[in-house]
Amino acid sequence: MADATARHDPYQDKLDSLTDADLAAILAELRRRLKAPEIAAAHTCIRCGLCADACHYYLTNGELEDVPAHKLNLVLGVIKHHFLPGGRRAGGWVGARKLDKAVVREWVDALFGRCSGCGRCTVNCTSGINIHGLIRAARGALAAAGLVPPELQSTVMTAVEQGNNMGIPRDEWLETVDWIQDELRAETGDPGARIPVDEKGARLLYTVNPREPKFFPLSLLAAAKLFHAAGESWTFSSDRYDVTNYGLYSGDDSCAGLLSGRLVQAREDLGAEVLVLGECGHGFASTRWEAPQWLNRRFGFPVKSVLEVAAEYVRQGRVRLDPSKNKKPLTLHDPCNLVRLGGVVEEQRYLLENAVEDFREMTPNRRNNYCCGGGGGQLAMTRFAKRRLAAGRLKAEQIRATGAMVVVAPCHNCIDQLTELGKEYGLGTEVKTVIEIVADALVLPRKNA
Amino acid sequence: MPTIEYRGRTLELNEEGFLVRPEEWTEEIALALAKDQENLDALTPDHWAVIRFIRGYYEEKKLAPMVRAICKTTNLPLRQIYELFPSGPAKGACKLAGLPKPDGCV
Q: Within its chain, how far is the Cα of A113 from the centroid?
A: 16
Give the count of beta carbons closer than 10 Å to the beta carbon of residue A253. Answer: 22
Q: What is the pLDDT of residue A2?
A: 39
Residue B74 has phi, psi (to 5 degrees) of -90, -10
Same structural domain for residues A275 and A178? yes
Residue that terminates a domain, selected from A292, A314, A336: A314
Residue A273 to residue A20: CA distance in whole angstroms: 49
Q: Assess if residue A154 is contained within a domain.
A: no
Give the pairing of strands B3-6 and B9-12. Answer: antiparallel
Q: Within its chain, how far is the Cα of A337 from the centroid?
A: 6
Give the count of beta carbons closer than 10 Å to the beta carbon of residue A327. Answer: 12
- Going by C-alpha positions, the residue among A179, A182, A180 that lies closest to residue A192 is A182
Q: pLDDT under 50 in chain A at which residues?
A: 1-5, 448-449
**Cβ pair A224, A184 in contact under 8 A:** yes
Chain A hits for B63, CB-CB cut-off 8 Å, are 167
Q: Closest residue of A to B102, CA-based?
A: A166
Reported ipTM: the value is: 0.96
Give the pairing of strands A303-305 and A430-432. Answer: unpaired
Q: What is the pLDDT of residue A6?
A: 54
What is the three-state SS of A67-91? CHHHHHHHHHHHHHHHHCCCHHHHH
Chain A residues at the B interface, defined by Cβ less than 8 Å, are: 5-7, 151, 154-155, 158, 165-168, 172, 175-176, 179, 209-211, 213-218, 244, 379-380, 382-386, 412-413, 416, 419-420, 423
Same structural domain for residues A340 and A304? no
Side chain identity at A206, as an amino acid letter? Y
In terms of residue numbers, what domain contains A356?
320-443
CATH code at A103?
1.10.1060
Whole-prediction pTM value? 0.96
Q: Assess if residue A432 is contained within a domain.
A: yes
The Cα of A243 is separated from the nearest Cα of chain B by a number of Å equal to: 11
Q: Determine, for residues B86 and A423 on separate chains, whether the beta-carbon distance falls below 8 Å.
A: yes
Q: Bridge-partner residues for B5, per DSSP? A: B10
Torsion, CA B26, CA B27, CA B32, CA B37, rounded to 10: 90
Same structural domain for residues A124 and A244? no
- Going by C-alpha positions, the residue among A428, A381, A429, A441 that lies closest to residue A111 is A381
Per residue in B7-55, pLDDT (tens digit) is 888 899 999 999 999 999 999 999 999 999 998 999 999 999 999 999 9
The Cα of B16 is separated from the nearest Cα of chain A by a number of Å equal to: 6
Same structural domain for residues A210 and A107? no
CATH code at A221?
3.40.50
**Cβ pair A157, B103 in contact under 8 A:** no
CATH tag, B3-96: 1.10.10.370
Q: What is the pLDDT of residue A306?
A: 98
Q: What is the pLDDT of residue A446?
A: 66
Residue A57 to residue A59: CA distance in whole angstroms: 6
Q: What is the pLDDT of residue A420?
A: 96
Per residue in B51-102, pLDDT (tens digit) is 999 999 999 999 999 999 999 999 999 999 999 999 999 999 999 999 999 9
Residue A429 to residue A220: CA distance in whole angstroms: 22
